[in-house]
Structure 1
Amino acid sequence: MDLITQWLSWMPNLTPGLGVSLQLTGLSLLFGFPFGLLLAVMAEAKLAPLQWISFLFVEVGRGLPALVLLYLLYFSLPDAGITLTSLTTAVIALSWNAGAYASEYFRAGIASVPLGQKEAALTSGLRGWTGFRLIILPQALRISTPPLAGLAVMMFQGSALAFVIAVPELMSKAFEIGSITFQYLSVYVLTAVIYGSITLVFLGLVKIVEWRLGRHLQRN
């Protein structure tokens, strides 16, 4: 059996795992990005308790490897009487990780908003949350979009870590095929090709987003 034929015979078994990987990535970003924005807003708040809570979540989320977070939540939550599925646990861990990094991008975006825009909001009577929501936040989100898109690519790649807690994602399916056929090199090369191909598509979309945002900023 030639290599291409072999790969095609494995694809029906790998495709469901790829679907789980994409689902895990999507859910992690769906929850992680809003969580990161919340942490960024809390970090910019004037209340010290909110700043410390944000600091705690960000430093733990960034300081601990995603693999450690997965193990920590998967094996410690049952001891606390909380039983979650492996997929739910993976979503929580990766969302925390994504949110911690996204918060720094959001904070950088907020800090990059020109001072004149902030002063204009004040002179227009848009103070506090109203001015932040209508004037500062839209510009900060536009500035933060390219690095957040890059983070999305990293989260897709990081979804392979969920294999260690028995989430039936792409790497898990590849391992199952390898354990049956003993063709580990071939199946892992195919898995790498799949990850690489989707990553290249994501990176292409990131470049398009950066180009469009660059043109928009030039017009303004």
Structure 2
Amino acid sequence: MNEILSFWREILPSLFDGFALSLQVTAAALVLGIPAGLLLALGLRARHWLLRTPLLALVEIGRGASVLVLLQFVYFGLPSAGMTLGAFMSVTLAFTWCTAAYTSEILRAGLEAVPQGQREAAQALRLNRLDTLRLILLPQGLPIAIPALLGFSILMLQASSLAFVVALPELMSKAQLIGSNTFQYMPIFTLVALLFAVICIPATVVVGQLERRLSRHI
């Protein structure tokens, strides 16, 4: 046991560097993807099919294809079209696409959960569509969507381990490199699992408590 703890203390700084990069990728995808998901959700409510069709294609591809497929498409596919991106930008773009696609459905469900009477009241007050969205739908729909958005954020952090396939030096890549040098894969991946658990388990508990608290007010 002492040997394992000593080994963990030795490799922990390197894993921390990789974990910090995993958190950066996840944060970038969420900061860019959630606003993009809101725009997609609003665009899918448009009346004209010329606007809805390409947005629907983006959402369905982003949800239908796995994150790994999107990552391979961006990193290996875009260079063949003349767009060369680095590993970090490729991972961020692929994760943002996935985030936007999934959160668009989460946000759309939140907006549609607003009672119809609220929309009718906005029409009675002669509010335009932008004011209805800003004053009525978003303030009531976003709280409904928050628990699902936080739960999805946890999943995206876990999915950040897929970035090792494009040689991004995140947590999983660091673990693979150390494992190939030391051949002590079990202690390494046990520590990696613990690092993810330190973030994901408390976050899951917080999401559950927040969902129960919000459900009492909705």
CA RMSD of aligned residues (A): 1.2
Please list every run of 5 or more consecutive structure 2 residues that lacks an aligned counterpart in the other structure. Answer: none
Q: d(CA) in 1 for partners of 2:146 and 2:20?
A: 25
Matched letter for residue 195 of structure 2: I
Shift of 1:16: 0.4
Secondary structure at the counterpart of residue 94 of structure 1: helix
Q: Which whole-Å deviations, capped at 9, do the CAs of 1:180-213 have from their partners, x for residues lacking one?
A: 1110111011111111221112212212422442
Q: Which whole-Å deviations, capped at 9, do the CAs of 1:126-169 have from their partners, x for residues lacking one?
A: 12122122111221111111111100000000001111001110
The aligned counterpart of 1:169 is 170
Q: d(CA) in 2 for partners of 1:151 and 1:196?
A: 16
The aligned counterpart of 1:151 is 152
Secondary structure at the counterpart of residue 168 of structure 1: coil
Q: d(CA) in 2 for partners of 1:202 and 1:81?
A: 40
Matched letter for residue 124 of structure 1: L
The aligned counterpart of 2:53 is 52
> Is structure 2 residue 173 aligned with structure 1 residue 207?
no
Written as runs of structure 1 = structure 2, the 5 A alignment for 1:2-13 is: 2-13=3-14
The normalised TM-score by structure 2 is 0.95
Matched letter for residue 63 of structure 1: G
> Is structure 2 residue 85 aligned with structure 1 residue 81?
no
Shift of 1:81: 1.5
Q: Which whole-Å deviations, capped at 9, do the CAs of 1:54-93 have from their partners, x for residues lacking one?
A: 2101000011111011111101111122111101000000
Question: When the two structures are aligned, how many residues end up with a matched partner?
Answer: 217
Q: d(CA) in 1 for partners of 2:209 and 2:171?
A: 27
Q: d(CA) in 2 for partners of 1:73 and 1:147?
A: 27
Q: d(CA) in 1 for partners of 2:34 and 2:3?
A: 44
The normalised TM-score by structure 1 is 0.95
Written as runs of structure 1 = structure 2, the 5 A alignment for 1:1-220 is: 1-217=2-218
Secondary structure at the counterpart of residue 2 of structure 1: helix
Matched letter for residue 92 of structure 1: L
Q: d(CA) in 2 for partners of 1:155 and 1:211?
A: 22
Q: d(CA) in 2 for partners of 1:30 and 1:10?
A: 30
